[in-house]
Chains A and B, each alone.
Chain A
Amino acid sequence: MADVTPARGRLERALRSGRPVVTCEIGSPDGADPEDVRKRARLVRDYVDAVNVPDNTAGVVHAAPIASCAILVQEGIDPILHMTCRDRNRMALQSDLLGAALLGIRNILCLTGDHMIHGDQPETKPVYDVDSIVLLEIANHLTREGKYLSGREIKPPPDLFPGAAAEPFAPPYEYRPLRLAKKVDAGARFIQTQIVFNVERFREYMGRVCDLGLHRRVPILAGVAPIRSVKAATFMRDEVPGMEVPDRLIRRMAQVGDDKKRREAEGIAICVEIIEEIRRIPGVAGFHLMPINWESAVAKISREARLEPATPTPKGPAEATPSRLEAVPVARIPKDPSPPTPLPLER
């Protein structure tokens, strides 16, 4: 039988290739139509090495990302599943990690999770049994030891590739690089940062990160996003904690006026400029595009910023039809998961 999951492990191969890696994020749908996920996936599949699906971002409910990721696997895309500690205790986390592995999803972005206070159901009980660093340890524990936290055996163990997020733009600034070091110590194999609008602050942060030698231990992908309108930019600045949008950019967006075509073009132009600036910062291993519900922007940004995936896209939109649903991913798991070797990065 042909390999039914040609994209499996593509992210890891891309990160090991030493070439700049491109990933992007697509929204999980608000609806029961799997075609919605496929449509979004086809808009981005030729431009990226892997695709993130966020987990109830900002505390607003969407379809479970594990389901969207399973559909991406059918589409021949290597998905990155966001796993948050907001809604799951350590038991649910372990079973979801193993469940993801069963579906052929191996890249897990371990997050603490946005608090529901910013969402549309702030009265919800938060869980936060463990945090992102312990979640990283749990994912590594399952993979390397082949055991649950209780010590009970998992046969065969999952072949997970856990990653983590980095936040350079929130206080305490001196502690942020050290927290990244903690995440690397806990076993993060790749890092995706918060959206960079303030390049100055990011340069400072990366300087500290390089001083600590973290860029040689783990590839760091800089998060970038196009601004769609003045409203979106001010919302990100005022309502989303941990996001820093300089007033300079907001003024620039205001100057182009309200015409949709012109402001979208300007938003993409700003994004491309930021990418060009980040390219000159040492220690950055690639880019993570976050076009919030604007997947068609990925193609434009890639073209204008000359971003290319580090690995070739597997053939065809995976000749995936819903009828292949059952046939999908019996993941090939190596008997003896090799201990992680440092990635050969020379930047």
Chain B
Amino acid sequence: MEPKEHVPAMLEPLGRFLRRHPRANLQLNRAVAPFENSAKVLLFSCNMCGQCLLHENGFTCLMNCPKQLRNGPCGGVRMNGHCEVKPEMECVWVTAERRSRRLPGRALFLRIHGPLDWRRKGSSAILNAVAGWPGNGKE
């Protein structure tokens, strides 16, 4: 269901290596994930789902949504654009929609995202993208 992320061609050998050696993948992931994630937490209040969509949502982490919606806003957005669950927070989708207009990747905004693979939570999204996400939650 999940379409493959666009990865630069020069990283393809690394991806092949990671797919072939799951242990190395795991160890590299352990080394990289803390740095990648802490940077993203500081900059974008990332939730470290390991399947990053920041680049197509105007660098708004959708996992801050109390319903963790990755395919669009729910019907409960208040008239002022704030969240129905946390009235003090602007709906992440209102933010994402506004910001993504000024950034590339807007076209990706309309594609349908498959269900999350919860096993990837906390891992490095960049390495996951390079290694290729397993389709449909199957290894």
Contacts and interface: CB of A to CB of B under 8 A. Distances in A.
A171 B114 contact: no
Interface SS of A by simple majority: loop
Given A151-B138, A172-B93, A241-B78, A112 B67 contact: yes
Contacts of B94: 171-172
Contact of B70 (A114, A131, A242): A131
B67 A131 contact: yes
B77 A170 contact: yes
Contacts of A133: 71-72, 112
Contacts of A182: 71-72, 110, 112
B7 interface: no
A182 B111 CA distance: 7
B114 A137 contact: yes
A117 B91 contact: no
Contacts of B9: none
A178 B110 contact: yes
A117 B85 contact: yes
Interface residues of B, number: 34
A194 B97 CA distance: 22
Given A149-B137, A182-B110, A130 B115 contact: yes
Contact of A150 (B66, B68, B138): B138
Nearest to B81: A171
A170 B78 contact: yes
Given A90-B115, A149-B137, A134 B71 contact: yes
Contacts of B80: 171
Contacts of B98: 172
Given A131-B71, A137-B1, A115 B112 contact: no
Given A151-B138, A179-B73, A185 B79 contact: no
A167 B75 contact: yes
A165 B91 CA distance: 19
B3 interface: no
B73 A117 contact: no
Given A134-B71, A171-B91, A182-B71, A241 B77 contact: yes
B138 A115 contact: no
Given A115-B66, A137-B112, A175 B71 contact: no
Interface string A168-180: 0011101100110
Nearest to B1: A137
A126 interface: yes
A194 B68 CA distance: 21
Nearest to A130: B115
Interface string A124-155: 00101111111001000000000001110000
B117 to A, nearest CB: 11
Contact of B75 (A117, A129, A165): A165
B104 interface: no
Interface in A177-192: 178-179, 181-182, 185-186
B38 interface: no
Nearest to B76: A241
A117 B84 contact: yes
A72 B101 CA distance: 47
A131 B1 CA distance: 14
A167 B74 CA distance: 8
B93 A118 contact: no
A112 B77 CA distance: 13
Contact of B79 (A131, A137, A171): A171
A55 interface: no
Contacts of A117: 66, 84-85
B75 to A, nearest CB: 3
9 contacts: A112-B67, A114-B76, A126-B67, A134-B115, A149-B115, A172-B91, A185-B112, A241-B75, A242-B77
Interface of B: 1, 66-81, 84-85, 91, 93-94, 97-98, 110, 112-116, 118, 136-138
